[in-house]
Amino acid sequence: MARYFFDVHDGGPRTDDIGTELSGPEEAREAAKRLLPDIAREEISADGDRRTFTVVARDQDGHAVYAATLSFVGLWLRR
């Protein structure tokens, strides 16, 4: 098992200093993909109608192995 760290960028970086034990980069990829909607669900309502969330997975040597981005855009449709 290797330790992977998931840094979140959504207007300012939040660095993961604890990490998670995973079997390898494929599992880190899946964890990053699951993390994005959870972050967005909590953060979208707090700040307007345009947000971009990026998760960067790093290995225990600090090398980025995967990055995923989720964008949210809300539009009023009234006349």
| Residues found in the chain | 79
Of residues 47 and 79, more confidently modeled = 79
Cα→Cα distances 44→21, 59, 75, Å = 28, 28, 13
Domains of the chain: 2-73 (3.30.70)
pLDDT at position 40 over 90: no
Whole-number pLDDT of residue 66:
98
What's the mean per-residue pLDDT of the chain? 92
- 52: pLDDT confidence band, cut at 50, 70 and 90? very high
Whole-number pLDDT of residue 42:
84
pLDDT at position 47 over 80: no
